[in-house]
Amino acid sequence: MRVGRQTARRTGRVPSRAASWAGLVALTWGLAAGSAQAESVAHGQQLFESRCVACHSLDAHRVGPALRGVFGRPAGKAPGYDYSAAMAKATHRWTPDKLKAWLTNPEALVPGQAMGYQVEQAADRADIVAYLATLSNR
């Protein structure tokens, strides 16, 4: 147990086998969580590309506003986009929870808005939001 001896010389304590196992388990869980997050982002990108690009782009306004850097942006305020009157009056900022609520039912979040699409599955909404969260302004 060479590592244990080195640790013992530095700290005066020998790491226990239980502590070593606990560290290994924590590392494994951390890697699994990172892998799950990467899968969520990849699935979100696929969903965005198959469902959202009919109206949205990442970098240019189309039927809907460009979505790169949407996190933290005031709703209804993307420069250069012509929002509906209802959306232009919105007072919230786009957070993960607001985006999930928006994708669940845009009309419930901003009555009178113009988006006519909803994402039915909660897991799909979460994955789209996870993908958008990776896209910062350039």
| CATH number of the domain bearing residue 87 | 1.10.760.10
Domain membership of residue 65 as a residue range: 41-135
Does residue 17 sit within a domain?
no
Q: Tell me the whole-structure pTM to 2 decimals.
A: 0.73
Checking if the pLDDT of 11 tops 50, the result is: yes
Q: How confident is the model at residue 136 (pLDDT cuts 50, 70, 90)?
A: confident
Does residue 84 sit within a domain?
yes
Checking if the pLDDT of 29 tops 50, the result is: no
CA nearest neighbour of 62 among 109, 100, 114: 114
pLDDT attached to residue 37: 83
Does residue 78 sit within a domain?
yes
Mean residue pLDDT across the chain? 84
Count up the domains in the chain and report the number: 1
Does residue 111 sit within a domain?
yes
Does residue 36 sit within a domain?
no
Q: Cβ-count burial of 91 within 10 angstroms (0-12 exposed, 13-18 middle, 19+ buried)?
A: exposed
Does residue 131 sit within a domain?
yes
